[in-house]
Structures are given as structure tokens and as C-alpha cells.
Amino acid sequence: MTVLSFFDYNCVFCYIGRRRLKEAAQRVGAEVKWVAWRMPGDASPPPKPADYREGVKAYIAAAAAELGLAIHLMPPTDTLDALTGMYYAREQGCEEAYHQQVFDARFLRKMDLSRRDVLAQCAAEAGLDPKRYLEILGSEAYRSRAMQDFEEAARRKIWTIPSYVLGDREIQVHHYEQMPTADDLAEWLRFGV
């Protein structure tokens, strides 16, 4: 059983959700396939309430305490290179370590993921050859994989992240109050078995 997890490295909820999904998947013996996401041009997610930002801050503070992390919120940045690098990390058997390094760089170390030197450092810390990593960032073959994932998200009408898809069932998190716990995700995955 493979669950698709649509994500972007800008998304703090993807960072939190990644940890929860990994735990849930381990409990039920599921595989996770990480799928790069950017908002489709025709997306129309539900609007956020006026007090959403304050609620997000409180939710993130509580989640950070639960996880024992000091999560920092930052403005979005261009993550296309970081997402492109994921496919190389996947080929090299370092995908999980790569995700961890990139997400940690963004949310724990407040690093700019649009900078290739930052990404090369993340790649090296994940066990990848940083020189080869930088080469693949300019490769159309790797970049096209991200584009294919973006097209898949648009085709499936994945309008918000994190989103999880298992067969014909999905969870699209539109609001922080909808964030599933590891227990919620494990139960959802078991239903798919």
C-alpha cells in the first residue's frame, strides 16, 4: 500500500504532517511517495477566516512543543530547486534524509531554500555528493519530474497541502484545524488495507 503525500518545502504543515505520516505509515506497514506540489492555476481552495494567522501561530507553537522543536515561520521562497533535488535523492536512496535536512534548514535553521549553496549543504548532510547534486539542479530530466508532479496535482485537483491520497480516498488539509494526527492517519491508512 502506497500513500501519496503532496507537499512543498515552504509548507510548515507539510513539515509537521511529514512526521505524523511517517509514524502512521510505519505502524501499518504503508509506503509513502512524496509528490512535489505547487498550487494549480485553476485552484480555488476555501477562503481562510479573518483570524487565521493568529490561529496558525498558536497551532504551530503547540505542535512544535509536542515535537520538541523550535519551529520558525518565514515568508515563502522559491523551492523548485529543492523539489528537483528530491528526485536525485530518491535515486540515491537518501530521500528521507534529504527531506529531513531541507525541512530542518527551512524551519529550524531559518535558511533560504532558494540558495543553491544552502541546498548543496542539505544534500551533503543527507549523504549526497554536493557537486553532482548541483549539476542535477540544472538538468531538464530532473526538473521535468517536478513538472510532472505539479501536473498530477492539478489533474487530481489537489488545491492545498499537505494532501494525502490512497487509492480513491484523499485528505486535503485546508485549515490547520483539519491537520490529522499520527493516530488519525494510521486509522485512515488501515481503512485502505
Structure confidence at residue 43 (pLDDT): 80
State the pairing for strand pair 31-36/2-7. parallel
Rounded Cα distance between 11 and 176, Å, is 11
In the chain, the domains with their CATH numbers are 2-191 (3.40.30.10)
Q: Judge whether residue 193 has pLDDT over 60.
A: no
Cell matching residue 115: 540558495
pLDDT per residue as tens digits for the range 31-44: 999 999 998 888 87
Look at residue 46 and give its three-state secondary structure: coil
**Mean pLDDT value across residues 152-158:** 94
Q: Judge whether residue 116 has pLDDT over 90.
A: yes
Mean pLDDT taken over the chain: 94
Structure confidence at residue 35 (pLDDT): 98
Structure confidence at residue 44 (pLDDT): 79
Confidence of residue 192 (pLDDT cuts 50, 70, 90): low
pLDDT per residue as tens digits for the range 45-81: 878 888 888 999 999 999 999 989 999 999 999 999 9
**Mean pLDDT value across residues 146-174:** 95
- Count CA atoms within 13 Å of residue 183 on its CB side: 0
Dihedrals φ, ψ of 33, to 5°?
A: -110, 120
Length reported for the chain: 193
pLDDT per residue as tens digits for the range 120-131: 999 999 999 999
